Amino acid sequence: MAAGPMKMRASLGAGFTEVRVLMTHPMETGLRKDADGKIVPQHFIQNLTVKVNGTTVMDAQISQAVSRNPVFSFRLKGGAKGDKIEVSWLDNHGESAAIEAAVA
């Protein structure tokens, strides 16, 4: 399955940057069976990377426990208007997607 769209908002708070990112992903656990009774193979995001102006500030490992079409929301220390935030994911099939937005 081709990677679907992502959406991100990054806004400046008092001394922090609030980031909210939505991603399209089936996040299959490998435990579900399809209509024919066959196991649907595992397919989930494994790595989540957050970069600010090209520097990695967060590297997260997540698992099948996260829901389909996940939403992540987190705060980064500091930040300034116009900072470039890049969020990318990599799943267990080697597929990936990324989105970039400037802090507003």
Partner 1 sequence: MRALAFGAALALSSAAYGQDVAKEIQRYRQMVAEGSPAELFELEGETLWQKPQGPKNVSLERCDLGEGPGVLKGAYAHLPRYFKDADRVMDLETRLLYCMTALQGRSREEATARVFGTADRASEFELLSAYIAGQSRGVAIRPGISHPKENASYELGRALYFHRVGAWDFSCASCHGEEGKRIRMQDLPVLYQPQYARPVLATWPAYRVSTSQFVTLQWRMNDCYRQMRTPEPTFGSETTVALIHFLTATAQGETYQGPGSKR
Residue placing its CB nearer to partner 1 in the complex, 12 or 70: 70
Give yes or no for residue 22 binding partner 1 (CB under 8 A).
Answer: yes
Cα–Cα distances (Å) from 100 to 31, 86, 90, 93, 103, in that order, read 33, 4, 15, 22, 10
Among residues 33, 36, 61, 67, the one that binds partner 1 under rule CB under 8 A: 67
Among residues 71, 80, 102, 104, the one that binds partner 1 under rule CB under 8 A: 71
Give yes or no for residue 6 binding partner 1 (CB under 8 A).
Answer: yes
CA dist 43 and 86 (Å) reads 23
Contacts of 3 (CB under 8 A, 6+ apart): 24, 25, 95, 96, 97
Binding stretches for partner 1 (CB under 8 A): 1, 4-7, 22-24, 26, 67-71, 73
